């Protein structure tokens, strides 16, 4: 049930890195992440191995996690025969930035809906730098089932409550446009970022 989207093995065989799509996630708890990042380490002398894994709602987040654990950036490219390609340059640019800056944010909440009539993933991120403009971000991936492409967009929020509310509205089909991320010059005084509440599901079906 795990489909490799990207994998890399070091020449000495000591490390393997994987981005996996979990096909079983659609049958689990509604909204759960469908991608898995795995870093496998082998001790050739002892003949043993161990590994770390982490679930993610978007493949770019899994790629970033692997890169920050030693995988070469150019080795995390996704298999073009699997998944859906970006629909436009705005999507590609945001994906590149999230791969590079993934360690600048902590994920607070995500919800994946794989209904063919509305294939969407919403993710709430919190900036780890208290001085960051728009300390809470919402990243939205929408899949076009006919063209089989996806778009990725980002919005900025001052509070986690605003970010959660926008996600709830989007999943209900009532959200307005994403507010822009405030530029750094407009950030003003450092913002004290409250601890994000525990992830909660919107209580709606996929």
pLDDT in tens, 56-65: 999 999 999 9
* Total-model pTM: 0.85
pLDDT at residue 195 is higher than 80: no
Q: What share of the chain in percent tops pLDDT 90?
A: 81
* pLDDT, tens only, 63-114: 999 999 999 999 999 998 888 999 999 999 999 999 998 889 999 999 999 9
**Measured distance CA(35)–CA(56) in Å, rounded:** 5
Using CA atoms, how far apart are residues 69 and 125, in angstroms rounded to an integer? 20
Nearest to residue 58, comparing CAs of 34, 84, 88, 89? 34
% pLDDT > 70, the chain: 89
What CA–CA distance (Å, rounded) separates 126 from 109?
Answer: 10
- pLDDT band for 51, please (50, 70, 90 cuts): very high
As given in the structure block, the two tokens for residue 130 are: 């208290």
């Amino acid at each position: 049930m795990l489909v490799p989207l990207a994998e890399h093995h070091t020449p000495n065989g000591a490390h393997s890195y994987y981005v996996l799509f979990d096909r079983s996630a659609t049958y689990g708890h509604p909204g759960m992440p469908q991608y898995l990042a795995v870093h496998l380490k082998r001790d050739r002398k002892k003949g043993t191995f161990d590994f770390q894994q982490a679930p993610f709602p978007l493949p770019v987040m899994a790629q970033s996690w692997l890169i920050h654990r030693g995988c070469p950036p150019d080795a995390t490219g996704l298999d073009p025969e699997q998944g859906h390609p970006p629909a436009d340059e705005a999507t590609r640019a945001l994906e590149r930035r999230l791969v590079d800056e993934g360690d600048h944010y902590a994920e607070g909440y995500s919800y994946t809906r794989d209904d063919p009539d509305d294939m969407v993933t919403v993710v709430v991120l919190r900036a780890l730098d208290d001085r960051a403009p728009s300390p809470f971000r919402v990243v939205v991936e929408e899949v076009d089932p006919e063209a089989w492409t996806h778009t990725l967009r980002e919005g900025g929020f001052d509070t986690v409550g605003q970010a959660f509310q926008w996600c709830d509205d989007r999943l209900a089909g009532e959200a307005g446009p994403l507010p822009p991320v405030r530029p750094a010059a407009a950030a003003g005084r450092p913002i004290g970022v409250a601890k994000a509440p525990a992830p909660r599901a919107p209580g709606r079906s996929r």
